[in-house]
Amino acid sequence: MEPITYLEAIRQGLWEEMERDPAVFLLGEDIAVYGGAFKITKGFLERFGEDRVIDTPLSEAAIVGASIGAALMGMRPVAEMQFADFISCGFDQIVNMAAKYHYRVGTPVPMVIRAPYGGRLHAGPFHSQCPEAWFVHTPGLRVVAPATPEDAKGLLKAAIRDPNPVIYFEHKYLYRHEKGPVPAGDFVTPIGVAAVRREGRDVTVITYGAMVQQSLEAAAAVAKEGIETEILDLRTLSPLDVDAIVAAAEKTGKVCVVHEATQTGGLGGEIAALVAERAFRALDAPILRVTAPDTPVPFSPPLEDAFLPKAEKIAARLRELASF
């Protein structure tokens, strides 16, 4: 249970699954010789060989298409989008092919697409987006977004073993900024099960990814003022843990949904609707959201700082809810 980084947890998960199952292989841009843009796959080529760690052309459509074909033939590909922003280049293959094969012909498509996403690294509008809502909206896909090293490893292992196509959103800021204990030995984090990260009686935050840490920071700040916050980490975005969401909403009657993605059409609206449908009678205040505004992610560090949801913004909304 020694603490490791979020990045190392992903690396361990990939390594262990490749050791465990010879059907698992990796493909993506610069993942073999170079070891990946973030060095997660450094050393994999030397250990597993060029047949299982494959450098691809700069074509996300080709990467996803090859992964689908391999999955249909019994392999378990793990494809890397160097940045989640570029996943749009493979969008047709993902939502019209991978997501629908099982529905159409009953054939499993056991593949994982790793999608490094999110801001706070001053990388500009083409390397900082949070596109998870596109895929949550697509039946046939599973979508996960771990917030801790333990879940980064456990959800990745679960995703690789799953018979469905899984989009695995890994937050780039967390790679080297988040560290925590990870159980020794083989384990998986179940897909579709949320986790309570902090117990509280006054207000509830429902969130995921890097916003879990920001929400915990906000909760610690308002706790000094006597406001106790329940924080629910979704972990899986599709399928949602509906029972956990409803229970968290009913516990306090005051709900704030937090995500880094832009607001309109984001997952926060779906969660708010779900709470309104299932827990309306328990609510004592309007459901609030803390999100990024509806603009591209700015490159300028001061503008990006203003753009992103942060602990201070979350704390302000928690105070607003608590006083309602």
Q: Cα torsion for 12, 15, 17, 21, to the nearest 10°?
A: -160
The Cα-based distances of 305 to 279, 290, 301 in angstroms read: 34, 14, 6
Residue 112, strand partner residues = 78, 166
CA 75 to the chain's CA centroid? 24
Q: How far is CA 16 from CA 20, 147, 154, 186, 276, in A?
A: 6, 20, 11, 8, 42
Q: In this structure, what token pair is assigned to residue 311?
A: 């602990």
Output DSSP code: residue 273: H
Instruction: Tell me how crowded residue 17 is: count the other CB atoms within 10 A of its CB.
Output: 22
Could you list the active site residues?
Answer: 127
Helix (H) or strand (E) holding 230: strand 229-233
